[in-house]
Structure 1
Amino acid sequence: MKKLALLFLVFTFINIFSQEYHFDYSIESQTDQIKPNKEKSISTTFYDSKNNIHLHIDKYNNKLRGVIYDRNKDLRHSFKITETKGFVTFEYTHTNDFSKNKHKDPAKDDILEIKKTDSLQYQIIGYKNEKKTKKRFTAWVTLEKSKFNYLEIGIDHGRSNEMQEKVKGFLDPNLNYIVKRMQVNYSTGYSYDSSLKITNVDFSLKLPEKLTIKEYDFFGEFQD
């Protein structure tokens, strides 16, 4: 996946385009799974710092797909990625529309507790009940001052955006911060430690004027 960050120089488009997404940062995440098994993985995400849009790169059966999830519109755009002789081609395939199918979040009534342990370190605890006797997760977040804001809280929870806003409330509004490292322990027994490496990039992806709407199917994304 590291190779991708160096190859996004030439893109082929074959449709008439409308909306364009521009990405100015590459975010490489290294995750060390601690429980239940010790495993290491590296993933790459591209970030549009102006509009807070992510391009996630997924790999399955040696096939690459790029996914942009536009939260404001509840649309998920998929691209087929092909590597040929050192060049990378993005080909738009389809869009998933989640605006009419929003799933109920079973953790929407959780009690969130955020503690500032240092100027750049925070503890986030999600409790399953008001008495705070049962935890859903505990996370330790380490920040770093940066040229731009990237406060994405990578916790598998429906209210991660709320956690982000609450952490932001502790910070100096005149400075920029990024999440440099996170350690998360879930009550299910799964835990991991992740760190980020951020570099500058400069490329754009465009959507066709007419979107192709399909039902979401993870495995179907990798059939072609």
Structure 2
Amino acid sequence: MEGNKNIFMKKLIPLFFIFICMRIFSQEYHFDYSVESQENQTKPNKEKRISTSFYDTRNNVYLQLAKYDNRLRASIYDKDKYLRHSFKVTETKGSVIFEYTHTNDFSKSKNYSFSKNEIIEVNQIDSLHYEVVVFKNKKKTKRRLTAIVSLEKSKFNYLEMYIEHSKTDEMKNKIKQYLDLTSNHYIITNIKLDYSEGYSSEISYKITNVDFLLKLPEKLIIKEYDFFNEFQK
């Protein structure tokens, strides 16, 4: 499955995109970078996963592709508005079609956190390397996870940490406190993760320039989030 996905991604980036949408649009997103992440899990089993997302630096949103049961879907996560916009993705005659299907509204649960009692601590190793430690309690006696985050200077800021924890925004903001973002831009290039449950992995990122638009209809179709129903049609 990963082999087919990689072939699709190679075709996807240089193509012009065709969009099936309504005639009147409420908002458009311009994606100018693709972010390919490769995760190499070392514990408890050795596994390799590759995924690709697209980043809109103007709106600070990203488009994530997912494949399940041979069906490909795309989702735009607009964190500022707590909205997730879904698209059906199909290939036809050498082009890729994105068809808007629905939107999930998470505004009612925006303040809920599965890790509200956990403490985030960030320590600077040097100007481009930081240790992120998540403690299970306020006494800091037990660790949930440790992450070594590597940065490099870039043309734009991309400091998102897509790891399995609900406080990744807090981690990102604590790292940003060490950085001079008025004079420089930074991207995350590598994360080494160690969870207390025995899970370890390393995630590396490859960023490439792209140029395409996705547009939303004026009237959004609001639905409850259901992972499996995303891929039914």
TM-score (normalised: structure 1): 0.95
Question: 2:213 and 2:55 mapped to 1: Cα distance?
Answer: 11
Aligned residue type for 2:44: P
Give the structure 2 partner of residue 220 of structure 1. 229
Aligned residue type for 2:10: K
Give the structure 1 partner of residue 174 of structure 2. 166
Matched residue of 2:20: which SS?
coil
Query: Judging changes above 3 Å, is the alpha-carbon distance between structure 1 residues 72 and 167 closer, same or farther for their aligned structure 2 residues?
Result: same
Give the structure 2 partner of residue 72 of structure 1. 80
Matched residue of 2:88: which SS?
strand
Q: 2:19 aligns with which of 5, 8, 12?
A: 12
Of the structure 1 ranges 14-23 and 115-124, higher mean CA displacement relative to structure 2 is found in: 14-23
The answer to whether structure 1 residue 56 and structure 2 residue 64 are counterparts is yes
Kept in 2, the 8 Å contact 1:7–1:88? The answer is no
Could you tell me how far 1:74 is from its partner in structure 2?
A: 1.2
Give the structure 2 partner of residue 190 of structure 1. 199
Q: Summarize deviations over 1:95-140 as a string: whole Å, max 9, x none.
A: 1111124473131121211111121111000001122111111000
Kept in 1, the 8 Å contact 2:103–2:221? The answer is yes
Query: Judging changes above 3 Å, is the alpha-carbon distance between structure 1 residues 4 and 213 closer, same or farther for their aligned structure 2 residues?
Result: farther
Alignment of 1:55-204 (within 5 A): 55-102=63-110, 104-173=112-181, 174-204=183-213
Question: 1:66 and 1:42 mapped to 2: Cα distance?
Answer: 16
The answer to whether structure 1 residue 34 and structure 2 residue 42 are counterparts is yes
Question: 1:101 and 1:171 mapped to 2: Cα distance?
Answer: 31
Question: 1:137 and 1:108 mapped to 2: Cα distance?
Answer: 15
Q: RMSD in angstroms over aligned alpha carbons?
A: 1.4
Q: Summarize deviations over 1:19-69 as a string: whole Å, max 9, x none.
A: 111100011111111122111111010001122100000111111101011
Gaps of 5+ in 2: 1-5
Question: 1:23 and 1:8 mapped to 2: Cα distance?
Answer: 13
Kept in 1, the 8 Å contact 2:90–2:97? The answer is yes
Query: Judging changes above 3 Å, is the alpha-carbon distance between structure 1 residues 132 and 181 closer, same or farther for their aligned structure 2 residues?
Result: same
Of the structure 1 ranges 92-101 and 174-183, higher mean CA displacement relative to structure 2 is found in: 92-101
Matched residue of 1:124: which SS?
strand
Kept in 1, the 8 Å contact 2:82–2:106? The answer is yes
Question: 1:200 and 1:218 mapped to 2: Cα distance?
Answer: 30
Could you tell me how far 1:188 is from its partner in structure 2?
A: 2.1
Question: 2:206 and 2:220 mapped to 1: Cα distance?
Answer: 33
Question: 2:110 and 2:33 mapped to 1: Cα distance?
Answer: 30
Could you tell me how far 1:75 is from its partner in structure 2?
A: 1.1
Matched residue of 1:109: which SS?
coil
TM-score (normalised: structure 2): 0.91
Gaps of 5+ in 1: none
Matched residue of 2:144: which SS?
strand
